[in-house]
């Protein structure tokens, strides 16, 4: 079954509330929405900002593939993902994943699954900008993100 899948890759901040409202307004079959928001941390004051590079085109396509896979695995009613690129300040949102379903278990599983695969499969790379203009290092991929995927096989 085909459900609404809305994927956006953008430089602009997103508005969680407006996105969730758009997802549920006029629908009376949705019983559960899980919204995951990933924020930029300052790492104990060390970070000035994160800069996100992405692969235009592939980023949207890969996230859409992950969403379709989630929709096949669980009885979801809709999925919406927004991922930002460019410079992001501490406290700002980087990524938003919204999963809706009639019941909570599928909504939790769908959002969790999409985030896990997005972390290791969506073509985005983070560079750190330190306080005081220190040159940025690229963030290394975490083994735990790869290991986390093993939960779904």
- Footprint of other proteins (CB under 8 A): 38, 52-55, 57-59, 61-62, 83, 94-95, 104, 115, 118-127, 138-141
Instruction: Kindly state the smallest distance separating residue 137's Cβ from other proteins, in Å.
Output: 9
Q: Are 63 and 113 contacting, i.e. CB atoms less than 8 angstroms apart?
A: no
**What letter does residue 100 receive in the DSSP assignment?**
E
Which of 69, 103 has the CB closer to its own copies? 103
Task: Evaluate whether 96 touches 16 at the Cβ level (below 8 Å).
Answer: yes
- Between 1 and 81, name the residue whose CB sits nearer to other proteins: 81
Q: Kindly give the pairing relationship between strand 32-39 and strand 86-88.
A: unpaired
Which partner from the list other proteins, its own copies, none does 11 bind, CB cut-off 5 to 8 Å by kind? Answer: none
Give the CA diameter of the chain: 52
C-beta of 20 vs 120, nearer to other proteins:
120
């Amino acid at each position: 079954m085909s459900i609404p899948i809305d994927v956006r890759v953008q430089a602009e901040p997103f508005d969680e509330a407006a996105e969730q409202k758009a997802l549920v307004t006029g629908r009376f079959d949705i019983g559960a929405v899980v919204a995951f928001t990933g924020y930029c941390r300052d790492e104990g004051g060390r970070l000035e900002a994160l800069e996100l590079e992405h692969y235009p085109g592939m980023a949207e396509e890969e996230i859409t593939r992950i969403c379709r896979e989630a929709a096949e695995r669980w009885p979801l009613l809709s999925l919406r993902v927004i991922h930002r690129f460019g410079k992001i300040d501490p406290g700002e949102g980087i990524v938003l994943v919204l999963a809706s379903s009639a019941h909570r278990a599928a909504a939790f599983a769908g959002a969790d699954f999409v985030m896990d695969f997005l972390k290791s499969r969506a073509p985005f790379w983070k560079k750190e900008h330190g306080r005081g203009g220190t040159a940025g290092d690229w963030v290394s991929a975490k083994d735990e993100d790869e290991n986390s995927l093993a939960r779904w096989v």
